Amino acid sequence: MSPSLVLELQQDALDDKVPVSSLLRKAAAVASKLGISNADEWMKAELNNYPKEKPVPDYRMIFAERKAKHPFGGFLPVFGSSQKQHRVPVHEPIASIEDLTRSDEGQAMLPTGPINDDGLTFESFLVPR
């Protein structure tokens, strides 16, 4: 006999090897099965993304350095930016953030703006790890 979904969720929450995105998917299934709807919007935003036009929860605000990624020059400073660190919202799905944390590089690029025709990413933030 297999354990209930609630018990699985509890066990997984205690296992630091289980990704947060997996926990959220399981929690969404449990909430749906139990008819708990007040956390539904939050879980969907965490799993899919937070809309750019809406503010993110405070824990999704990070301090990062504004950089541009040039295809041949790597990360370059953005001119005209007087601040070294900027507080920026993170709208990306939790699985994307997990992927960034698994990167072998010492820092992760969090794109927040458009990529122009020559491949230079503007308004991105370099997040130290």
Q: Cα-flanking dihedrals φ and ψ of residue 64, to 5°?
A: -150, 165
Low-confidence ranges of the chain (pLDDT < 50): 1, 115, 120-122
Q: Is the pTM of this model over 0.75?
A: no
For the chain, give every domain's residue range: 5-47, 58-128
Residue with tokens 């900027």: 86
- Cα(115)–Cα(112) distance, rounded to whole angstroms? 10
Assigned token pair, 114 = 């458009």
Q: Cα-flanking dihedrals φ and ψ of residue 127, to 5°?
A: -105, 115
Assigned token pair, 28 = 């969404």
Handedness of CA 101, 103, 109, 114 (dihedral sign): negative
